[in-house]
Structure formats: C-alpha cells, structure tokens
Amino acid sequence: MYPAPFRYHRAASVEAAIRQLSELGEGARALAGGQSLLVWMKMRFGDFTDLVDIGRISGLDTIEQDAAGVRIGALATHARIARSPLAKLLPIVGDCANGIADNQVRSRGTIGGSLASGDPACDWPVLLTTLDAKLHTQGPDGKRDLPVDGFVEDLYVTKLKPGELITGISFAMPARGSAGAYVGFKRCAPAYPTISVGVQLSLKDGQCEDIRIALGSAGLTTIHARAAEAELRGKTLTPASLARAADAAVDECDPVEDQRGSIAFKQSIIKVLVKRGIETARRRSQGETVEVSHEYY
C-alpha cells in the first residue's frame, strides 16, 4: 500500500526541526532513517500530514566512549554501531546491533528513531534498559534527560512531548568483571523478535553481585524483570536459581498472542532466552569469548 499524501520538509538544525514540528502540529513527524515511520505510513497507521527530515543534521551520529561513559548520537545507524569499536568493547552492544533486521535496514535505521517509535518489539529499548541508559532530548521547553527504563509508556506511546526530539543516548561503562548478552528469537532476519532478552551482570567470589534483566516483545512495553533479578542477586548461579529467575521473568510479562506465536509459546521462549542470556553473560564475565546471534524458527 502507498502512503497517503504528505508534505516533506528538511531541517538544517535541531532547533529548526523543533520549530517546524511545533508549527506544523499533530500531523507532523520527524523522519530519521524511516525504517519504522515509512512502514507505518504505508499501512496508513496514523494521520501523518508532514515529515520533517532530520537525517542530515550534523553532529547527531557520533559514537564516543571514554572513562566518563558512552555517548551515542540519535542518528547513529544500527550498522555504524555494529561496526564501531564500542561493539567490540561491549559485546552486548554488538549482539543487539548485528541482530537487527537485515543489512538494508541496519544501514538506514537509526537508534534514535527506533527508540522514538515506542514499539515494544524494537531491540534498542531492551538493550539500553539493560545498561540503565539515559535519553537526551530537546524540545520547545528545552532539554531533558530521561531514563530509558519506563520511556515507553504504552504501545507506541513514549514520554516525548510534542515537538521534542531524541538527540542522544548515554550510559556508564560497565564495571570491571561485569558483562552482558543480548539474545533474540525471530521468524526471519527482517522480522521483529518474537522475544528478546538483555542481561548485564557482575560476579564476585562466584556469586552474582548485581544483575539487570530486560525483555522485549513480552508485553505492550519493554519489561524490566526486577523479580527475576531478585532471584539471583547475591546468590550463586546454579541451574536451580536460573530456573527460578526464568519463572519469575515469565510471571512479570504479559505477552500478546499474534502472528509470531501464542502466549504459551512466547512464555516458553522467555524461559529459554533468560537462562541463555544469563549463562552467556556469566561466561563473558569470566573472560570467555562467546559469539551470540539471534535464532530463527
């Protein structure tokens, strides 16, 4: 299906984009890579009258890392992140970026656009919740810093205000001895994950000192699995404790039956992926090199 007619505008700066979005009103949307928005438009999902192209605004596609932490510009594409030194330094980031759709989508889609879509099946909100990241935004009322955890409030609904843009993402470098993993299960490469799981943990004297678990496609928003974390924090990682954590993660979720599978099917996948993500993160925290890729069915 072709999208309904719309007007195209190109912004030369963040300030210009905010001004245009505010002046154009409810039907205006920011266009970054377009890998989510253009699909919505073709499906006539929403009344989009104007697109404000922010894709050529300079300075929003940087990827930086130092002792203070990691900073990623909103226009950094999935492919650039996957190829960056950051993806090698933090394998969990590479797990996520390399697993998104196919080469075409990864080369055009942006991390900021993915987050702004509010889609609970998108990969980046899960990964960034795992890393306790912050979003940096700018809008008519100025700049804000928002935690990624809770940024998606409902299906396709975020905390962004009218005319507000995501300009970047930041998070602290994980502590030494900490490692993570991002695992997903999907029908085919271009499809959204049926279920995805992000895990970041740190071990001390053989015990789980701290852990963070997030789930995607497991409800109408990204799920921060706090009860599952509580099953493991301060404890030794054993098959029994991992099973309890996986069961707790299922109890925290509310998956929707759709073309990707039944509720029972998704719950069974959650159990498998939570245990797999934890085990991979554990092995990485102990110095092993473990390759991770999404699985297909």
Each residue's pLDDT, cut to its tens digit, for the chain (297 residues) gives: 678 899 999 999 999 999 999 999 999 999 999 888 887 888 887 788 999 999 999 999 999 999 889 999 999 999 999 999 999 999 999 999 999 998 899 999 999 999 999 999 999 999 999 999 999 999 999 999 999 999 999 999 999 999 999 999 999 999 988 999 999 999 988 888 999 999 999 999 889 999 999 999 999 999 999 999 999 999 999 999 999 999 999 999 999 999 999 999 999 999 999 999 999 999 999 999 999 888 887
| Residues whose CB is less than 8 angstroms from the CB of residue 259 and which lie 6 or more positions away in sequence, other chains included | none
Structural domains in the chain plus CATH codes: 7-53 (3.30.43.10), 63-171 (3.30.465.10), 178-296 (3.30.390.50)
CA–CA distance, 194 with 197 (Å, rounded to integer): 11
> Which of the 8 DSSP states describes residue 246?
H
DSSP alpha helix (H) spans, the chain? 14-24, 37-42, 78-83, 85-89, 91-99, 103-108, 111-116, 123-130, 226-230, 239-252, 263-285
Q: What is the secondary structure of 209-225 as a DSSP string?
A: EEEEEEEESSSSS-EE-
